[in-house]
């Protein structure tokens, strides 16, 4: 496939959303954010086709049955999943696709698309993660505890990702994310898949492709 599939995970509160937003702004001409499908009800302000594709349970189960999802999960009674068609169509067009999903979904993707790139965002310390969650005034103490329990479980999976980024300062973490993207596109196998776009000189192309 011509495009690059980037999968980003990390615990709630780690600053993933800011990183992803900055990245999508800088690379908007070449990277598409994959919108998940869900059966949970929209929260105030959430827009169908922007935040999620909101579908009913029957529709979602039909998609599972027809194998239309790249990954899916049922969390607390609600389904969440990623549409195969959306991802593959963009990758084939040469667009890169970015997914923000949990480790369970990330490993489902890696199994199906071996050259997807899995990135896990870590906090600089456990206390800092707690602090960041507590700063979100909107959340109750029990909600914070729930998120911390989940963070603890998710971090245990980071070893199986391709890259780890510590989000100490946003600027620094962003530089690493951007570097991973730029470097991965220059990996030889991807470069050769895309050779005619990278190099216009037929003689040089013939030397590079040479089988001697």
Residues forming contacts to its own copies in the complex (CB under 8 A) are 120, 122-127, 152, 155-156, 158-166, 175-176, 178-184, 186-188, 191-192, 198-201, 203-204, 207-210, 212
Q: Shortest gap between Cβ of 65 and its own copies (angstroms)?
A: 33
Nearer CB in complex with its own copies: 142/188 = 188
Q: How many of the other CB atoms lie within 10 Å of CB of 119?
A: 24
C-beta of residue 60 within 8 angstroms of C-beta of residue 81? yes
Cβ-based neighbour number of residue 138 at 10 Å: 5
Contact 5, 100 (CB under 8 A): no
Closer to its own copies by CB, 113 or 176: give it. 176
Strand segments (E) across 78-144: 78-83, 96-100, 117-122
- Minimal distance in Å, beta carbon 1 to its own copies? 18
Pick between residue 79 and residue 184 the one whose CB is nearest to its own copies.
Answer: 184
Distance of closest approach, residue 85 Cβ to its own copies, in angstroms: 30
CB of 120 to its own copies, least distance (A): 8
CB nearer to its own copies: pick between 144 and 199: 199
Are 153 and 1 within 8 A, CB to CB? no
CA distance 43 to 79: 15
């Amino acid at each position: 496939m011509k495009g690059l599939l980037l999968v980003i995970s990390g615990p709630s509160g780690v600053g993933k959303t800011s990183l992803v937003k900055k990245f999508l702004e800088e690379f908007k001409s070449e990277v598409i954010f994959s919108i998940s499908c869900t059966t949970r009800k929209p929260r105030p302000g959430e827009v169908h086709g922007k935040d999620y594709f909101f579908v009913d349970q029957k529709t979602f189960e039909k998609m599972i049955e027809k194998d239309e999802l790249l990954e899916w999960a049922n969390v607390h009674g609600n389904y969440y999943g990623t549409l195969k068609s959306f991802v593959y169509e963009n990758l084939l067009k040469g667009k890169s696709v970015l997914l923000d999903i949990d480790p369970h979904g990330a490993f489902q993707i890696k199994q199906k698309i071996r050259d997807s790139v899995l990135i896990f965002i870590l906090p600089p310390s456990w206390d800092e993660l707690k602090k960041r969650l507590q700063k979100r005034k909107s959340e109750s103490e029990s909600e914070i505890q729930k998120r911390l329990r989940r963070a603890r479980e998710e971090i245990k999976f980071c070893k199986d990702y391709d890259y780890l980024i510590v989000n100490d300062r946003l600027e620094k973490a962003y530089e690493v994310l951007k570097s991973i993207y730029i470097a991965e596109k220059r990996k030889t196998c991807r470069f050769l898949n895309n050779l005619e776009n990278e190099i216009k000189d037929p003689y040089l192309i013939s030397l590079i492709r040479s089988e001697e």
